[in-house]
Structure 1
């Protein structure tokens, strides 16, 4: 199975997963500084979606290619740039494709980026092999993920906002009810040690690095609860209606007892981290 299509999430994805103002640009600038790529470099994103990572690259004039299983997600990306004054000069290609079988020749790209996508793919090792195949010698593969207080990829010592507490409690309740991880995907995040071990076994020089700070837009605990109720996150799409109903019942009881400010918005701050890999001559 090639992965999970996010067609059903296209309309609300940016509202639930997007960064706050300036964060995506900081991430772009940090990637450019870390890799040293110039605007002549060819950049590929695996799972480009609505452009959460690549829009700042596109708007800055980089040569960007994106692949995704969901055409609806990529249509949202195109809609966002359709009215840009500089649209005619953008260098962007989008392909509806499987990241475990990329429709590109060998050594075609200088930078391959994969952010929050490998957990959606069953054969993640095939995706890594394909990323290596399409990279030129000395090119960069960056597997990125967000690390924020309370989200399972924590920053030590930081306070956990109440909306994140809601999401964390939801995950605990799923475990209590024995809800299985969704089928057809690896359910493995970018911080998983298996990724670095596999890349090393493929001969890569591997490094973990924090690149930039980010902020997510403010959200209230009640809004987060509604997102969960409406199954806006892919981990809940396969849960049966009966089990989902029981999750909502238990969550409601916990929410009433533990959330002090249900309608007060909080903005989550975190760090964008990468696992980088390079093969061949870096020159």
Structure 2
């Protein structure tokens, strides 16, 4: 069973973990109106939970270095309470939890959360199924919030930012990060024009927080690393629709994209089954909410 929130959940409600779980499941099942519709439109990663770590995971040891980036960027301590929206399989949270007090997290996908629980071995990570646009936490609960590769999945990302602001203690930062996914970067060059995210658009990543009144503090924390892949894997990921931007493309578009990508990668790398090392970068920025 996932470790659901207890006293921290659902505004001022208190109760047992079982009660907290029931409340949150009720929110997902029974709420009607715009918020419920928004939760349905936000992308859940049920369909790729089984291969998520394989296709987006960090090389051995790099997860700890990325956790250090977040800890430095946020000035986090061993007693810090951290919130991650889109916690997923714990790719960031598990390593980060060893550097802070507790990492709390929300995600829409039950299978992703089940993967997280299967990987957890004593780490102080408390995950719950909930939507980032209606966080089940009291005001001013956290010393920092973490968001990695998530705002492009949330149509009403402005509401999510307001919820993050509400849940943060005064002066606490949002640590906005992204980690290199070379396969996705290769694919992006060849995917059809006009393909857009549901939330923050591809060209807005560098500016959407500033345009929303948030203020970046200091310089980004960066880490360069190498990811080893087989180019053929990228084609296979397209055929399986591994990346969310491909989920709604028709079969004929997927087939055409896979064929074009196969030809281009063969020209670039030669043998598609031979492993190659690709440069990648992790980056974390510290942002303070509007005042």
Would the aligned equivalents of 2:179 and 2:280 in 1 still touch at CA under 8 Å? yes
Structure 1 residue 252: deviation in Å?
Answer: 3.6
Number of residue pairs matched by the alignment: 252
Q: 1:188: how far off?
A: 4.2
Once the two structures are TM-superposed, the CA of residue 72 in structure 1 deviates from its matched residue by 0.8
Structure 1 residue 269, shift from structure 2 partner: 3.0
The Cα of 1:92 is off from its aligned counterpart by 2.3
Q: d(CA) in 2 for partners of 1:277 and 1:22?
A: 27
**Distance in 2 (alpha carbons) for counterparts of 1:279 and 1:232:** 33
**Bigger RCO (CA 8 Å, 6+ sep):** 1
Deviation at 1:259, TM superposition (A): 3.5
Aligned to 1:246, which of 256, 275, 285?
256
Match of residue 11 from structure 2? none
How far apart, CA to CA, are the structure 2 residues paired with 1:189 and 1:54?
Answer: 27
Cα deviation, residue 64, structure 1:
1.0
Q: Give the Cα separation in 2 of the matches to 1:189 and 1:22.
A: 31
**Range with bigger deviation, 67-76 or 245-254:** 245-254
Cα 1:34–1:228 change in 2 (3 A) is: same
Which residue of 277, 287, 291 corresponds with 1:267? 277
Which residues of structure 2 form unaligned runs of 5+?
1-37
- TM-superposed deviation, 1:211: 1.5
Q: Which residue of 2 aligns with 1:131?
A: 164
Out of 136, 143, 150, the position equivalent to 1:117 is 150
Question: Would you say 1:170 and 2:190 are equivalent positions?
Answer: yes
Structure 2 residue aligned with 1:52 = 91
TM-score (norm 2): 0.78
Match of 1:72 among 108, 111, 128: 111
| Counterpart position of 1:158 | none
Is 1:237 the equivalent of 2:247? yes
1:102–1:253 Cα change, 3 Å: same
Aligned to 2:136, which of 85, 89, 103? 103
1:222 to 211, 232, 237: 232
Instruction: Note the C-alpha offset of 1:11.
Output: 0.4
SS in 2 for 1:248: helix
Q: Which moves more between the two structures, 125-134 or 250-259?
A: 250-259
Pick one of 176, 180, 196 that aligns with 1:181.
196
Query: How far off its partner does 1:251 sit?
Result: 3.1
In 1, are the aligned partners of 2:213 and 2:290 still within 8 Å (CA)?
no
- Is residue 278 from structure 1 mapped to residue 269 from structure 2 by the alignment? no
